[in-house]
Amino acid sequence: MRTISLDQLQRRLAVIEGVPRVIVGGNAATPWLVVDAIDRSIERYRLHALNIGVGVPERPGVIAETSFVGPGMRHHPALEYVPSRLSMAPLLFERSLPPDVVVLHCAPPRSGLLSLGIEVNVLPAALEVCCARGGLVIAVINSRMPYTFGDAEIAVEAVDLAVEAEFELTDTPPNTVDDASRVIAERIAAMIDDGATLQMGIGAVPDSILQALSARRGLRVWTEMFSDGLLDLDEVHGLDVEHPLTASFCFGSRRLFDWVDGNPRVRMLRTEKTNSPTLIAANRAMTSVNSALEVDLFGQANASRINARIHSGYGGQTDFIVGALHAAGGQAFIALRSWHPRADVSCVVPLLDEPVTSFQQTAVVTEQGVARLWGYDEKTQARHLIEHAAHPSVRSELWEEAQELGLT
């Protein structure tokens, strides 16, 4: 690893030929100073990142490539969405999306090892393929990045060039919890027992669920990501301190970043491990909670498209639903409002007209109730969705549609 200045890095980048594929971390760990240096130095390139924030260059010559669309790419004029479950996304680098440049955002080295900190995700896989192809590996070394263990640790020898910089990580403000989110959370929390293993995303409902679980004990965590809500659960002794908190990335407040820094209880793993249905299923009472934009009377969920335009992607939803349902005592929930307040439409529809993200959950939970699906015939599933999940104002219409669909 050779440490250089940002100006020196730009000169090195300027000699790269063709249209290189550049892979960077997303979420709260994007090293924007190197992204800017790349944009100033390379005329045409592909920027590959998962759930990247606002700031992606939109000039001609820049292709935005991803398997999970974040706010920084959602309306990009040259977006190329590559559908993939996140457990399989690392395979894309080996088989169809070979990386030429990989940019890592690291904590300063300890005992000859750097740490990817709060964003492991697909980066280890990208790093390995890039090195095997003779590509360029760049590390931004930032003292504000927490040092985490597991697959986050990489040898300094794996890095070609390093740039030292100190800047604060993106702070994610807490979610505002409304009455509907709180009711949904309480319904789900009531179905989670002591000793369960949790997977939850970010948002008002997951945060509310964690608050509602404050009386539980021995809870474990195997998840794609986590945020500040777990800190509160840990402070009331709800977590099993003998079992590592396993995730692939996290984002939240500085309080969270300080908590994970050097914390031996936190194990950050690469995505193909955290999202492996086989490894997920090995956890006791694995409980998966995911959201959706809408569900239909066949129990199908759309969590990725709005008006046929990609909004996010498969993410880890399918991975965790499959893994949880194969686990001993496992459960998989889809949580959403019965009515979308901004669009002013029902979130329970007769039949999806958008591509399906997932299906066959344990139950769909709204502020109206719990619609149990798994293990019931399709007509009973539809009845549960109408009677227990749908908003009362659309139930008669849904019954008519269910008859047309042969579900009555």
**pLDDT tens sequence across 347-358:** 999 999 999 999
By C-alpha distance, which of 37, 31, 12 is closest to 168? 31
297 and 270 in a common domain: yes
**Whole-angstrom Cα distance, residue 313 to residue 294?**
14
Asked if the structure places residue 204 within a domain, the reply is yes
In the chain, the N- to C-terminal Cα span, in Å, equals: 66
Q: Would you state the pLDDT for residue 372? A: 98
Q: Would you state the pLDDT for residue 170? A: 86
Lowest mean pLDDT among 31-45, 148-162, 204-218: 204-218
By C-alpha distance, which of 407, 352, 354 is closest to 381? 407
**Whole-angstrom Cα distance, residue 80 to residue 90?**
17
398 and 331 in a common domain: yes
265 and 122 in a common domain: no
Q: Would you state the pLDDT for residue 222? A: 98
366 and 244 in a common domain: yes
Asked if the structure places residue 174 within a domain, the reply is no
Share of the chain above pLDDT 90, in %: 92
Asked if the structure places residue 171 within a domain, the reply is no
Residue 323 burial by CB count (10 A; 0-12/13-18/19+): exposed, middle or buried? buried
Q: Would you state the pLDDT for residue 174? A: 73
Q: Six-digit token pair at 34?
A: 């190197």
Lowest mean pLDDT among 61-65, 229-233, 324-328: 229-233
- Residue 89 amino acid letter: A
Task: List, in order, residues 6 or more apart from 73 with CB less than 8 Å away.
Answer: 49, 52, 56, 64, 66, 79
Instruction: Identify the domain boundary among 136, 164, 192.
Output: 164
**Whole-angstrom Cα distance, residue 124 to residue 151?**
7
156 and 282 in a common domain: no
Range of the domain at 72: 2-164
Do 198 and 220 touch, CB atoms closer than 8 A?
yes
210 and 321 in a common domain: yes
Residue 106: pLDDT over 90: yes
Instruction: Identify the domain boundary among 164, 187, 204.
Output: 164
Instruction: Identify the domain boundary among 138, 164, 190.
Output: 164
Asked if the structure places residue 120 within a domain, the reply is yes
325-to-218, 272, 321, 378 alpha-carbon distances in Å: 21, 18, 6, 18
Asked if the structure places residue 170 within a domain, the reply is no
Mean pLDDT (the chain) is: 95
By C-alpha distance, which of 135, 118, 149, 116 is closest to 46? 135
137 and 206 in a common domain: no
Q: Six-digit token pair at 188?
A: 């789900």
73 and 145 in a common domain: yes
Asked if the structure places residue 16 within a domain, the reply is yes
In the predicted model, what is the mean pLDDT of residues 336-343?
A: 91
Q: Would you state the pLDDT for residue 178? A: 86
Whole-structure pTM value: 0.95
In the predicted model, what is the mean pLDDT of residues 298-304?
A: 95
**Whole-angstrom Cα distance, residue 249 to residue 348?**
31
Residue 208: pLDDT over 80: yes
User: Whose structure tokens read 């949904």?
Assistant: 184
3-state helix, strand, coil in the chain (%, to 5): 30, 25, 45
In the predicted model, what is the mean pLDDT of residues 49-75?
A: 97
224 and 146 in a common domain: no
Strand pairing category for 339-340 and 345-346:
antiparallel
Q: Would you state the pLDDT for residue 10? A: 96
Asked if the structure places residue 58 within a domain, the reply is yes
| Burial track 324-359 (b if 16+ CB lie within 10 A, e otherwise) | bbebeebbbbbbbbbbeeeeeebbbbbebebebbbb
133 and 248 in a common domain: no
* Dihedral (Cα; 342, 347, 350, 352), 10-degree rounding: 80
Residue 206 — pLDDT band, cuts 50, 70, 90? confident
CATH code of the domain covering residue 315? 3.40.1080.20
> How many domains does one find in the chain?
2
By C-alpha distance, which of 359, 402, 400 is closest to 383? 402
pLDDT tens, residue by residue, 366-378: 999 999 999 999 9
Q: Would you state the pLDDT for residue 177? A: 79
Residue 172 — pLDDT band, cuts 50, 70, 90? confident
Residue 288 burial by CB count (10 A; 0-12/13-18/19+): exposed, middle or buried? buried
135 and 260 in a common domain: no
Asked if the structure places residue 123 within a domain, the reply is yes
Residue 202: pLDDT over 90: no
CATH code of the domain covering residue 108? 3.40.1080.10
Helix pair angle (6-13, 32-41), 10° resolution: 40
239 and 344 in a common domain: yes
In the predicted model, what is the mean pLDDT of residues 265-275?
A: 97
